[in-house]
Structure 1
Amino acid sequence: MNDTKEKNSKLVHSPFALFPSVVPKDCFELACKLAPVFNLLAFRLSNCPEYLLKHLEALTTIDEFSGKLVLLYKETVQHFGRQPQPYQLGILRSDYFIDVLKEKSTLKQIELNTIASSFAALGQRVAEWHQVARSLFDKSQANDGELPPIRNVQNFVEAMKEAHTIYDDAESRILFVVQPNERNTYDQEMIRWELWKQFGIKSLRRTLREIEEQVDHSRLPEKLILVSCNERIPISVVYFRAGYSPDDYPSEQEWNARKIIEWSDSIKCPSLGLHLVGMKKIQQVLSEPGEVEQFLQDRPEDAALVRSCFAEQHSMEPSVQQFAVELAQAHPNDYVLKPQREGGGNNLYGDRMLQLINRASKEELSGYVLMKLLRPKDYSNYLVRNGVASFGKCISELGIFGIFLSSDDNELIINRSMGHLLRTKWTRQEDGGVAAGNAFLDSPLLTS
């Protein structure tokens, strides 16, 4: 990784755990079983603009960034009646803690990421390293257990290849939408390399601003064609590794690029509707009785499984806000306040949460969600950053990747678990996120 987002940054190794961390096998298998169910749920939600707008439209007056995304989605739906490109590619990651309550391990979802679900490639590298580490180093660290097979990158590029093939343009390429001075370039480059090595599919990287500057306006809104070095490049699939943070939209150029992409016939990963499904507000609404069930009416057992992994969550909307506020004030160390943001480092805990609650208006608070803090079991491990290994108590967050590809008749051509990722942090660390500088790449050691 690059050590900073500055142009003169230097390369450093990704932070990693020296040994794999223990994960109960039954919890891991349940998380893998849930991946295609969450894929289906997210897909059906993404095709229900009435539902998304009903619960997200209030953000347009209280959260400038989230509100702009919602307004663009509303404009798109009103203009086209549906998503301009009926085919959708979804690469999701559902993140979990293994909550320990009365000595019983229970899988509980932290969030569902629907855009820029990262570290599939570097996570696989760390898992492969752990296979070696267990045979080379201190056997006392090699606890009894098994390392599950991992094919993140292979599954990733196979799904991308299918979407690219469906677009059916021999001259087209896959576009990676990236941040300027991206720190995590190499996680992305491993995927681009595999696309070329396995299938001969070319790809390119562009920021939102570069897309807006290079687009062929004569073919808009239908076709997304970039002009670079006198070459006209049709785009088959747009894979977002940017666009989830206010920092990604410093000007109207970036917002215009997002609209150009959304209104084109390129296959989006994700579409704007699928992006909005990952909002914290939608996660909170789905935790309410009957909400998941209405989207999985044909699969009641799956709906029950999904509900079993939900953590306690509370709306901060003005009509019910007082209950959540009093709960947070009475138990500040048992709850976390979550804004509508992705990328790590955004949540508020303890004193910082109380400070915001005490000074913010009802309207400002309504853009947040209150969630019960989960209590995963801690383990000892060596965590390595910048060549220095430190030993201590850690907790881990399990991520399961899911992939789906939908057809033009609202069916899923592909729907499966793609792979896994484990991120570990010190027990004293509140927020997670490898890119945010708080967590370390790891892999699960499955135990009974």
Structure 2
Amino acid sequence: MGNNDVPIMQSCIPLPIDDKQLLEVIEKAKDWAIMHGAAMRSKTDFNPDALQFAPFILTPSSFPRKEYEKAVNLQVTLNELMHAVAHDTEFLRETLKSTIKVDTFTGSLFEIYETTLKEGISQPHSLALLRSDYLANFLESNAIKQVEINTIASSFGGISTFMTPMHSYILRELGHGDKLVDLPANHALSGLCDAMVEAWKLQNRPHAIILFVIEDMTYNICDQRFHEFYIRETYPHIQVIRRSLTEIYEQGRLGPGGELLLGDLEASVIYFRAGYEPGHYHGSNEWSARLLMERSKAIKCPSIHYHLAGTKKVQQALAKPGILKRFINDEQKIHSISEIFTGLYSLDKHEHGEEAIKLALKNPERYVLKPQREGGGNNVYGEDIPAALEKMSEEERSAWILMERIFPPLSKGYMIRPGGKMPPEIVSLVSELGIFGAIIGTKEEIIYNKQVGHMLRTKLSSANEGGVAAGLGALDSPYLID
């Protein structure tokens, strides 16, 4: 489908902006971004002492108000669904049985899950900080369709909180302060952190700390540090420490009551910002660290079963007709969840996989191939699908799912990147809305369940992948239109 066939949503402000005014406001916007922490460390020229602004869209991108509100209102129900899925051992086993044979990473996670089940789960409470991602689909009057739901390291809650104030400043500078009423408030940072603190309070261990599990090298540093600083400023009695999986292996042990001890410190809540991709595990030590944490009394965000519930294979299984009844007993809720699902197909031989392959080969441009991977940059699109399927054995295919492609409307705007051409050109853009949710509970009961904020990631319409950390998208905020 060419860009000429795609509808373009009305812009927040008239474009283009006069070059002189444009260059002046971009200079201010870049400084605002760096001085307020909408920034990252450079991947190409890493320096722990330097930050550069994160790529951003100069003015907020349009998003259908009705669909934004639908996504916000649905999040508490999605939290409930994912909580039920994560605690359904039989469903996870059945759904992932073929995947774990061919995907060694998911297999290793599953091994930890089985070990903790055998030994007895030491901490019945889980904390989940989720992010459900959506694209509007212009083929269905811009109705939102879920791209995926993230159950581990759901990022950009920190930086996204600053995008609306940044866009408010830019719009005022451009003489469009009247547009601010259509920028929804965003409290993602406080919402995510307050949930961590609720989990910490549950443990009733006043001297315990919150542990952030981090990569060996953190590029997206501001997003993580904002959480840490917010907790320390708002709850001065709670300390946050950051450790890599390797450091946890070297320093960690279980106390006499199953407490997670790191040197002299006890961690009663663990927040994973790493551990979601194979590259974070250099060998058996890092896997031992993950098992050690899972065996501990600390509340995990996410616990191993929640991590598994976020796999693409589980997402595909949930879209099967009638399956939601297993987890949700309210018809209205089932209907509202079903509405956001797009076509998801198994490639397992015994699960009508051959039919799905025929669909993909007949119209590859209508589909995306997705593996069991987080972190962006792993999907296969359109005309590349036939060759990718050809290379896979029947077994390997079961580690992938086929998803109907969503066709979002376009918006126009300026993408501002470090080192980018000045003045920038107006480009065609596509926006993905992420809604954050927080939930705490056991298998038997949910004790905390909230929608806590949003983010908007925007990419060039010509780019398939849109990860900001991966360098292909830009931070944004929604301008709601009717």
For normalisation by structure 1, the TM-score amounts to: 0.94
Deviation at 1:57, TM superposition (A): 2.2
Deviation at 1:70, TM superposition (A): 1.2
> Given residue 401 of structure 1, which amino acid in structure 2 is its aligned partner?
F
SS in 2 for 1:216: strand
SS in 1 for 2:300: strand
The aligned residue for residue 445 of structure 2 is 411
Separation in 2, partners of 1:272, 1:220: 22
Structure 1 residue 120 corresponds to structure 2 residue 157: yes
The aligned residue for residue 16 of structure 2 is none
Separation in 2, partners of 1:84, 1:69: 17
Residue 137 (structure 2) aligned to one of 96, 99, 115 = 99
Separation in 1, partners of 2:450, 2:383: 41
Residue 173 (structure 1) aligned to one of 203, 209, 213 = 209
Structure 1 residue 2 corresponds to structure 2 residue 31: no
Separation in 2, partners of 1:94, 1:57: 25
Separation in 2, partners of 1:144, 1:233: 46
> Given residue 423 of structure 1, which amino acid in structure 2 is its aligned partner?
R
Residue 241 (structure 1) aligned to one of 253, 267, 273 = 273
Change (3 A) 1:168 1:234: same
Separation in 1, partners of 2:250, 2:184: 45
Residue 25 (structure 1) aligned to one of 62, 65, 87 = 65
Deviation at 1:87, TM superposition (A): 1.3
The aligned residue for residue 410 of structure 2 is 378
SS in 2 for 1:338: strand
Residue 426 (structure 1) aligned to one of 435, 457, 460 = 460
Gaps of 5+ in 1: none
Is the Cα–Cα contact under 8 Å of residues 253 and 292 in structure 2 kept in the other structure? no
> Given residue 88 of structure 1, which amino acid in structure 2 is its aligned partner?
S
Q: Which moved more, 1:144-153 or 1:376-385?
A: 144-153
> Given residue 52 of structure 2, which amino acid in structure 1 is its aligned partner?
V
Separation in 1, partners of 2:245, 2:45: 18
The aligned residue for residue 168 of structure 2 is 131
Q: Deviations over 1:365-404 (max 9, x none)?
A: 1110000110010010111110534420000000000001
Residue 76 (structure 2) aligned to one of 19, 30, 36 = 36
The aligned residue for residue 301 of structure 1 is 332
Separation in 2, partners of 1:290, 1:338: 23
* Aligned alpha-carbon RMSD (Å): 1.7
Count of residue pairs the alignment pairs up: 437
Change (3 A) 1:98 1:77: same
The aligned residue for residue 309 of structure 2 is 277
Deviation at 1:351, TM superposition (A): 3.3
Separation in 2, partners of 1:220, 1:392: 59
Gaps of 5+ in 2: 1-39
Separation in 2, partners of 1:294, 1:121: 35
The aligned residue for residue 353 of structure 2 is 321
Change (3 A) 1:313 1:221: farther
> Given residue 85 of structure 1, which amino acid in structure 2 is its aligned partner?
Q
Is the Cα–Cα contact under 8 Å of residues 259 and 268 in structure 2 kept in the other structure? no
**What percentage of residue pairs aligned between the two structures are identical?**
36
The aligned residue for residue 24 of structure 2 is none
> Given residue 296 of structure 1, which amino acid in structure 2 is its aligned partner?
I
Change (3 A) 1:372 1:302: same
Is the Cα–Cα contact under 8 Å of residues 127 and 199 in structure 2 kept in the other structure? yes
Change (3 A) 1:267 1:5: farther
SS in 1 for 2:333: helix
Deviation at 1:60, TM superposition (A): 2.3
Is the Cα–Cα contact under 8 Å of residues 89 and 269 in structure 1 kept in the other structure? yes
Change (3 A) 1:385 1:413: same
Separation in 2, partners of 1:296, 1:269: 23
Change (3 A) 1:184 1:5: farther
Is the Cα–Cα contact under 8 Å of residues 87 and 443 in structure 2 kept in the other structure? no
Separation in 2, partners of 1:185, 1:52: 33
For normalisation by structure 2, the TM-score amounts to: 0.88
Separation in 2, partners of 1:317, 1:409: 30
Q: Deviations over 1:167-226 (max 9, x none)?
A: 111211000000011111111111111101111111000000100100135x27811000
SS in 1 for 2:124: coil
Separation in 1, partners of 2:353, 2:375: 26
Structure 1 residue 441 corresponds to structure 2 residue 475: yes
Is the Cα–Cα contact under 8 Å of residues 379 and 394 in structure 1 kept in the other structure? yes
SS in 2 for 1:101: helix
